[in-house]
Amino acid sequence: MTRRELLSLLFSLGALEFGSVLDAQGTNPKTAPVFQVKTLKGIDFVLRNSPTSRKHLIETMPGGVALLDYNNDGLLDIFFVNGGNVREKMTTPINFDRRNPAYWNRLYRQNPDGTYTDVTERAGLAHAGDSNYGMGVAVGDYDNDGFPDIYVTNFGKNILYHNNGDGTFTDVTARAGVAAGGWSASAGFFDYDNDGRLDLFVTRYLDWSVESSKTCGSERPTYCPPGSFPGITNVLYRNRGDGTFEDVSVASGIAAKKSHGLGVAFADYDGDGFTDIFVANDATDQFLFHNNGDGTFTECGLDSGAALSETGRMPSGMGVVFQDYDNDGLPDLIVTQLPHDPYVLFHNDGKGLFSAQELEAGFGILSGNVSGWGVGLEDFDNDGWKDAFIVQGHVFDNVETYDDSLRYREPPLLALNRAGRFERADPGSDLPVAGRGSAFGDLNNDGWMDVVTTSLGDAPQFYFNRRGQFHWLTITLRGKRSNRDGFGARVQVNGQTRFATAAGSYLSSNDKRLHFGLGSAQTADIEIRWPSGIRQVLRGVKADQFIVIEESAQP
């Protein structure tokens, strides 16, 4: 025996781990809370993710929420995606017990008095397939019939529910050809070829199956990092206009890149008139798919400066929002991620280039030890600057046993935008939850933006805006030559810019109406560039109203 052999034998002491630490995101500041958290009468949804000791990765990733007016009564309704029953030892054929009402997705119709009624069963949305574990939701009027349709993503097969216009939906997945398969995450409707019909983009997380499921961690088992599983391609469906879609993932170039996609958001970042796609990838480069305008996309995240954080690290991208935070007319990106790095902010520098500026924007102070998921950029205080709301909670339900400075359940982050720099504000609740999805909209039509969030194993949270003195304007687009929802339009109001979309956040779908805070202005000048190319201008529009703007016939 040699001494070296002896030493090899003795070399058993584990390296002392000393990662960056953390936490104490700190309590919320003692400013007036922006929201009041309420329970809503009639809503009894619980996001059942069914955590097991086996730590199947799907358990910790759901679930989405959508704000939509499915019956066109002017009141926002709420759709929640549920997980499913995960058993300790799963076998194929897999069965998530989705026939059991406890695991149904749920649609709640808002009544005129602000209460809600569960209409899931009568709407035909009750049973989402036993082999499907629910993830996210996208909403869009893909057939331009004036009623929003619902697309639900799953681990399993995705489902497209066509809105029949009579309060019911029909599962048209098979005919439409949009089931995808594998592990889908976020999805969104958008019109990538400007043909007036909404197409569909679906992110997929990773190549996971019951057979390949595994647990990581030795003494304290937990969920495996995404790198433990192969990456997978995202999916792009082109709307043929006859109720069917064509999978153009390969032809468009989308499938040329594999990764670990979670969030998705759309905007025309370079002003060429075609909507581009950003995909938040978990623990690898982020993807920016530039729309070439000829039915193809080129992934250019790295070369455009929108792939890596300010420190050059690969973000563990979860949720994403693609809107203009600094009122320079160009859409920027905020990507939420896991602890030890701030949430990433890619500032749109123009000319197709971005630079990571999370520190300049204040996210070095606001994040770093927290885990972000759903995210929105909305003007919650109507001062003319879009604020950030991020729902938070760690991936590991036992993270405290790994790192005493981290927390599985965390309160949300509300950061008010002070002329381009974000500052922490009181969201109205310090209640820590394992937050995941979030959707943004004006639930009570008072002109002030509200938030609905989901959390694992828990009821949703409803953040109602306490309101203030400033003025506002909320616009509903009605496309004629463009898609009826007007998705992809660039709307500018008094120097602010929004890109019309319901996509963004994490697994969720937002109120499609475009909300603008006007500050003290009592009128607004509006300029719309529709996906059709038509430019429309309205001047001196009175503040504090909901208006519908129909696409004009002529440029």
Label the pairing between strands 199-204 and 235-239: antiparallel
Give the three-class secondary structure for 8.
helix
Instruction: Give whichever of 303 and 430 is closer to another protein, judged by the CB atom.
Output: 303
Q: Does 311 bind another protein (CB under 8 A)?
A: yes
Binding segment for another protein (CB under 8 A), chosen from 362-370, 374-382, 434-442, 476-484, is 362-370
Q: Does 368 bind another protein (CB under 8 A)?
A: yes
Instruction: Give whichever of 73 and 404 is closer to another protein, judged by the CB atom.
Output: 404
Q: Does 258 bind another protein (CB under 8 A)?
A: yes
Enter the DSSP assignment of 532.
T
Which of 168, 355, 445, 552: binder of another protein (CB under 8 A)?
Answer: 355
Instruction: Give whichever of 332 and 485 is closer to another protein, judged by the CB atom.
Output: 332
Binding segment for another protein (CB under 8 A), chosen from 84-92, 100-108, 358-366, 499-507, is 358-366
The verdict on whether omega for the bond into residue 63 sits within 30 degrees of 0, i.e. cis, is yes
Instruction: Give whichever of 20 and 115 is closer to another protein, judged by the CB atom.
Output: 20
Q: Does 58 bind another protein (CB under 8 A)?
A: no
Binding segment for another protein (CB under 8 A), chosen from 24-32, 51-59, 180-188, 243-251, is 24-32
Q: Does 365 bind another protein (CB under 8 A)?
A: yes
Binding segment for another protein (CB under 8 A), chosen from 94-102, 367-375, 483-491, 493-501, is 367-375
CB of 394 to another protein, least distance (A): 14
Q: Does 308 bind another protein (CB under 8 A)?
A: yes
Burial 252-271 (b: 16+ CB within 10 A, else e): bbbbebbbbbbbbbbbbbbe
Binding segment for another protein (CB under 8 A), chosen from 251-259, 262-270, 385-393, 518-526, is 251-259
Other residues' Cβ atoms within 10 Å of the Cβ of residue 173? 19
Instruction: Give whichever of 45 and 297 is closer to another protein, judged by the CB atom.
Output: 297
| Cα of 525 vs its chain's centroid, Å | 29
Token pair in block for residue 46: 């619980």
Q: Does 7 bind another protein (CB under 8 A)?
A: yes
> How crowded is the C-beta side of 215, counted as CA atoms within 13 Å?
13
Interface residues for another protein in 395-414 (CB under 8 A)? 403-405
CB of 361 to another protein, least distance (A): 7
CB of 345 to another protein, least distance (A): 10
Size of the site for another protein (CB under 8 A): 54
Which of 421, 466, 467, 481: binder of another protein (CB under 8 A)?
Answer: 421
Q: Does 371 bind another protein (CB under 8 A)?
A: no
Token pair in block for residue 245: 């879609």
Instruction: Give whichever of 179 and 314 is closer to another protein, judged by the CB atom.
Output: 314
Contact present, 473 and 545 (Cβ < 8 Å): yes
Interface residues for another protein in 270-299 (CB under 8 A)? 281, 284-285, 287
For 382: left if phi > 0, alpha if psi spans -120 to 50, otherwise beta; the answer is left
CB of 404 to another protein, least distance (A): 5
| Helical segments of 238-392, H only | 249-252, 301-304, 363-366
Binding segment for another protein (CB under 8 A), chosen from 31-39, 77-85, 252-260, 498-506, is 252-260
Instruction: Give whichever of 128 and 388 is closer to another protein, judged by the CB atom.
Output: 388
Q: Does 305 bind another protein (CB under 8 A)?
A: yes
Question: What φ, ψ does residue 304 adopt, rounded to 5°?
Answer: -100, -5
Q: Does 328 bind another protein (CB under 8 A)?
A: no
Contact present, 161 and 124 (Cβ < 8 Å): yes
Rounded Cα gap, residues 194 and 199, in angstroms: 10
Interacting residues of 550 by C-beta distance below 8 A, sequence separation 6+ = 478, 480
Instruction: Give whichever of 17 and 294 is closer to another protein, judged by the CB atom.
Output: 17
174-179: long-range contacts at Cβ-Cβ below 8 A with a sequence spacing of 24 or more? 175/243, 175/244, 176/243, 176/244, 176/245, 177/237, 177/244, 177/245, 177/246, 177/247, 178/151, 178/202, 178/237, 178/245
**Among candidate residues 523, 479, 534, 480, the one with its CA nearest the CA of residue 501:** 479
Which of 49, 158, 249, 259: binder of another protein (CB under 8 A)?
Answer: 259
Contact present, 320 and 334 (Cβ < 8 Å): yes
Question: What φ, ψ does residue 44 adopt, rounded to 5°?
Answer: -125, 25
Q: What is the 3-state secondary structure (H, E, C) of 393-453?
A: ECCCCCHHHHCCCCCCEECCEEEEEECCEEEEECCCCCCCECEEEEEEECCCCCCCCEEEE
Q: Does 53 bind another protein (CB under 8 A)?
A: no
| Helical segments of 15-152, H only | 120-123
Q: Which helix (H) or strand (E) holds 464?
A: strand 461-465
Which of 9, 540, 554, 555: binder of another protein (CB under 8 A)?
Answer: 9
Binding segment for another protein (CB under 8 A), chosen from 18-26, 41-49, 162-170, 326-334, is 18-26
CB of 235 to another protein, least distance (A): 16
Q: Does 74 bind another protein (CB under 8 A)?
A: no
Q: Does 551 bind another protein (CB under 8 A)?
A: no
CB of 259 to another protein, least distance (A): 5
Q: Does 360 bind another protein (CB under 8 A)?
A: yes
Q: Does 30 bind another protein (CB under 8 A)?
A: no
Binding segment for another protein (CB under 8 A), chosen from 10-18, 137-145, 437-445, 505-513, is 10-18
Token pair in block for residue 2: 């040699």
Contact set with another protein (CB under 8 A): 1-7, 9-11, 13, 16, 18, 20-26, 231, 257-259, 281, 284-285, 287, 302-303, 305, 308, 310-312, 314, 342, 349, 353, 355-356, 359-362, 364-365, 367-369, 403-405, 421
